[in-house]
Chain A
Amino acid sequence: MGLLRKIRDTGRVAEPAPPRPEGHVPPQAKEFGGSVQVRCVDAGSCNGCEIEIAGAFNPVYDAERYGARLVASPRHADVALVTGPVTRNMAEPLRRTVAAMPEPRLVVAVGDCAINCGEFAGGHGVEGAVSDVVPVDLQVPGCPPRPDEIVAALRRVTGR
């Protein structure tokens, strides 16, 4: 009963949807038709971007309403959300993860570290930016990027 009362009192938490983002839409995204399954790959990040991605899928920002859904296996996924500079140990797993995704597929680099190694550029364990390991289709800059920026990037892919 306490939970029921809490549900009733809380009501709707999701913020109203901002206007459709403008920007470059990768060509593969046209085939998705409003449904995008996302696989998150942490290639060596500090987990700051992970927290923001978790925030993007929480009730406040609710990325699911635009058609994006997190899945458990890259075989189920269309988009790989890669965070962090790619460490040496994660380079091959990242390649394999992206190779396991069926076409059409996209790689989205989330955060400054994924785009250009950010804070960790030149570190001894860092292999390179994500684009050095797999081809990147979309970038979300920021350290960490705000959840609504991540949601905006996903909306460019889903088209909703």
Chain B
Amino acid sequence: MNTVGYTAIVLQVGAVVAGAPLLTGLMRQTRARLEGRAGAGVLQPWRDVRKLLRKEPITPVGTGPAFRWAPPLLVATSLVLAVLVPLISTDTPVRGRADLIVVVSLLALGTLALALAGLDTGTAFGGMGASREMTIAALVEPTILMAVFALSIPAGSTNLPVIVAGAADQPARLTSPAGLLAIAALAVAVLAESGRLPVDNPATHLELTMVHEAMTLEYAGPDLALVEFGAHLRLTVLLGLLASLFAPWGIATGASLAAVLLALLLAVLKVAVLGMALAAAEVFWAKLRLFRVPELLAGSFLLALLAVTASYFLGGEGGQR
């Protein structure tokens, strides 16, 4: 009965749930300050969610179960990911379940659910959002799986805690060419999966420039709260995944409560720094035209392919094991 492990999971999920809107608030605040504005404060997304939960739930005529169940499913997949991804500790009771391919596929499941909901409305914008979202998701898959491949070569497994623990033990892996290429590829993939600039603008009002928001134009009240919260969760989990894979220092590998608490603090710090860096970078970027996005994704795929080849030929662990 690994109590420390269970504690780690509870702390991790709690931190992700409580911190996801805070992360979005922090990112919005960073952007506001860079633009010279005062900003609404870090707690604003929580206020939004709280207010939305108390509003009137609406079911538009002509929508069905897909529309109704997509927001809870989106949040549920993100929460399962929050349990699986080793943000704080690699020695948890679920460490045997956290396969990286499964993690990537659960992300895709959330995207798919929302796309079906967009088509379920029967409006032109819903269909447009679904079509664009699925195109981008289809093109991001090769990059993500190649990055998974590149990361699993030195670790000998696609199991996330094994990869993270291996990276923590051998930091040289991350500064090798393979590691750097994999970071770059996965960073672009994370931008595409979480719907941030330059792939998609989360704050746009022009429907013809929307990808993710177009699918959610019909949601109101508690459903909208779940959709927004799900988006915050996804971003947090993805940034946490990046942080765990490429900056794993501080993650607890044993059964010590003190290490777990320290790891929690460090994880919060790492994700916050990553979020602020992303928000600052977004100030300088413009959204790419939709048909330039495949070029960006193809470029990141090439980086991931190079990472795999470099990992095999230069690392030597693949060939001579």
Contact = CB atoms under 8 A, between A and B. Distances in A.
Interface of A: 3, 7, 10-14, 17, 31-35, 37, 59, 62, 64-67, 69-73, 75-76, 78, 101-104
Contact of B38 (A62, A72, A102): A62
B128 to A, nearest CB: 13
A81 to B, nearest CB: 14
Interface of B: 32-41, 44, 47-48, 50-51, 54-58, 204-205, 207, 210, 213, 217-221, 224, 283-284
B48 A73 contact: no
Contact of A34 (B35, B47, B204, B217): B47
B220 A76 contact: yes
Nearest to A12: B36
Nearest to A4: B284
Contacts of A59: 35-37
B56 A67 contact: no
B197 to A, nearest CB: 14
B38 to A, nearest CB: 4
27 contacts: A3-B284, A7-B35, A10-B36, A13-B35, A13-B36, A13-B37, A14-B38, A31-B54, A32-B51, A33-B51, A34-B44, A35-B50, A59-B37, A62-B37, A65-B32, A65-B41, A67-B44, A69-B40, A72-B205, A73-B218, A76-B219, A78-B55, A101-B220, A102-B58, A102-B221, A103-B56, A104-B55
A37 B221 CA distance: 12
Contacts of B54: 31
Contacts of A12: 33, 36-38
Given A14-B36, A71-B205, A73-B218, 15 more contacts: A3-B283, A7-B283, A12-B33, A12-B37, A13-B35, A32-B51, A59-B35, A59-B36, A62-B37, A64-B32, A67-B44, A67-B47, A70-B205, A72-B213, A102-B221
Contact of A65 (B39, B50, B213): B39
Contact of A33 (B50, B57, B58, B221): B50
A14 B51 contact: no
A74 B225 CA distance: 15
A59 to B, nearest CB: 5
A76 B205 contact: no
B48 A75 contact: no
Contacts of B213: 72
Contacts of A13: 35-37
A65 B25 CA distance: 12
Contacts of B34: 7
A101 to B, nearest CB: 8
Contacts of B40: 64-67, 69
A3 B99 CA distance: 42
Nearest to B222: A102
Contacts of B221: 102
A102 B47 CA distance: 17
A130 B144 CA distance: 52
Contacts of B204: 72
A76 B221 CA distance: 7
Given A31-B54, A64-B32, A75 B224 contact: yes
A59 B32 CA distance: 9
A123 B181 CA distance: 66
Nearest to B204: A72
Instruction: Count chain B CB atoms within 10 A of each CB in A3, A71, A75 and give the residue with the most.
Output: A75
Contact of A35 (B48, B224, B283): B48
A35 B47 contact: yes
A14 B207 contact: no
A78 B220 contact: no
Contacts of A69: 40, 48
Nearest to A17: B38
A160 to B, nearest CB: 9
Contacts of B224: 75-76
Instruction: Count chain B CB atoms within 10 A of each CB in A69, A72, A101 and give the residue with the most.
Output: A72
A59 B35 CA distance: 7
